[in-house]
Amino acid sequence: MHSPDGAGRTTGPPRGGQATVLVLAGMLTIMAGAVVSPALPGIRAAFAGTADADLLSRMITSTHALAIVVFAPFAGALSERIGRKRALIIGMLAFAAGGSSGFYLPDLYSILAGRIVLGIGVSLVMTTSVAIVADRYEGAERQRLLGRQISAGAFGGVLLLVGGGALAGLGWRTVFLVYLLGAVLAVAALRYLPGGGCPPATGGDAGSGTPARRWWPVGITAALAAMLLGQVAFYSVPVQVPFLVEDDFHATSIASGAVIAVQTLTTGLVSLRFAAIRRLAGEYVLVAVAFAAIGAGYLVLFAAPHVVVLGLGALVMGVGLGILMPTLNNWVVNTAPPDSRGRYAGFLTTALFLGQFLAPIVTQPAVSHLGIQPLFLIIAAGALIVAAGYLAASRHRTRVDAEPGADRAGVLTSRLDEGSPHVR
């Protein structure tokens, strides 16, 4: 049988419908910006008479990200107040309403307002879907679904970029109808997700008598920092590579799209194997390996003399991102107290989109003074330093746990921060 226990957790094999809804929710977060990108030239042409039309049309791809940064922490708290399922469905409906509004709204300003609604919807979907996976699944099954969420986003992003380009050929407004997929998933969530609440506060680990931890866990801080830095590194590829490909290598936009697609597809393939990868090491070590791969990928990008070599560098980076993203999701939900998972997942969402927003801002000065490939060398050095820091942190925690007479509460916190599926 497959039934939720007292904490709303799934105790048997996952229902196909429930798991599918939760995995596809990961695709919605990528859709937010990717779908509309091919339509930007048509939008700019349609509103050419509007003041600052060039800037405002480009802001359609970023306004939702700012809304996510601001709202995501509140989205997690809201899901704990009104229940995970209800918050997820509201988020999917807001995603559909705000995203599709570009199909019928009359001007750029109202379309940008719709993108804010879209961002609020993404905040609710992303934070709540991760929290539901943590609430209803444990151990390898939880890790498998978290990996599949990242994979769905990666594979869906590639498909939606291609599909968005095809729809843009029919008219720029047509692209916005793709966001109605959120409403379809809302119906599926209503049908397949059982219950509506979230795990009750138990005063500590269930059955252990351990007091609930109300301070900010060290592991959460480490995960948020890794997410912010990882996204700055990740987003520098789609921000800078197209200019490098076209201006320095004199290739077409198809080539730059292929480089980005290699990175995205590799991320998805590696994420699918996260449950197996997680068995090899703890979170600190996996984050160190991920940043080492990102640094190695950027070294290849720095030295690349040709577009094909850029693709190789993107592939190596994709391996790192495929390890990093599900690792951080798993780390946060395992470390957070069960009754606060939504809140901490919201902070992780904020770190993710803040990193993407900051990427062009923090990298452009180096590009202006040094060029794009020298920037890649700087990012590579930074990523390798971060990798060394997390590896050193892992060794420190191992030594602390091995000390005779170590405080039991400290050991418990350390294991929780490492995301052990055996300690709850």
Over residues 49-87, the pLDDT tens digits come to 888 887 788 788 778 888 999 998 899 889 888 999 999
The winner for highest mean pLDDT among 28-42, 175-189, 286-300 is 286-300
Q: Could you read off the pLDDT of 235-261 as tens digits, one per residue?
A: 888 878 878 887 888 887 678 778 888
Burial grade of 381 (CB within 10 A; 0-12, 13-18, 19 or more): middle
Residue 206 has pLDDT above 60, yes or no: no
pLDDT at 256: 75
The CB-side HSE value for 374 (13 A sphere, CA atoms) comes to: 8
Domains defined for the chain, CATH in brackets:
16-192 (1.20.1250.20), 218-417 (1.20.1250.20)
Nearest residue to 347 via CA among 196, 213, 198, 227: 227
pLDDT at 34: 65
| Phi, psi (deg, nearest 5) at residue 355 | -60, -40
The one-character DSSP state at 369 is H
Q: Could you read off the pLDDT of 356-414 as tens digits, one per residue?
A: 888 888 888 898 899 999 999 999 999 999 999 999 999 888 776 666 554 444 444 44
Query: What is the rounded distance in angstroms from the CA atom of residue 377 to the CA atom of residue 301?
Result: 8
pLDDT at 400: 65
Query: What is the rounded distance in angstroms from the CA atom of residue 346 to the CA atom of residue 295?
Result: 27
pLDDT mean over 293-297: 97
Query: What is the rounded distance in angstroms from the CA atom of residue 295 to the CA atom of residue 281?
Result: 20
CB neighbourhood size of 56 (10 A) = 19
**Dihedral, CA of residue 243, residue 245, residue 247 and residue 249, to nearest 10:** 160
Q: Which residues pair with 10 in a beta bridge?
A: 4
pLDDT at 381: 97
Q: Could you read off the pLDDT of 304-317 as tens digits, one per residue?
A: 998 899 999 999 99
pLDDT at 73: 86
pLDDT mean over 190-216: 54
Question: Which pLDDT band holds residue 278 (cuts at 50, 70, 90)?
Answer: very high
pLDDT at 208: 34
The winner for highest mean pLDDT among 4-8, 195-199, 278-282 is 278-282
Mean pLDDT of the chain: 82
Residue 112 has pLDDT above 80, yes or no: yes
Alpha-helical runs (H) found in 53-107: 53-59, 63-82, 84-100
Nearest residue to 152 via CA among 27, 327, 266: 27
pLDDT at 422: 37
Query: What is the rounded distance in angstroms from the CA atom of residue 397 to the CA atom of residue 13?
Result: 34
Q: How far is CA 206 from CA 171, 199, 225, 334, in A?
A: 55, 11, 29, 14
More confident residue, 10 or 129: 129
Residue 216 has pLDDT above 80, yes or no: no
pLDDT mean over 99-109: 92
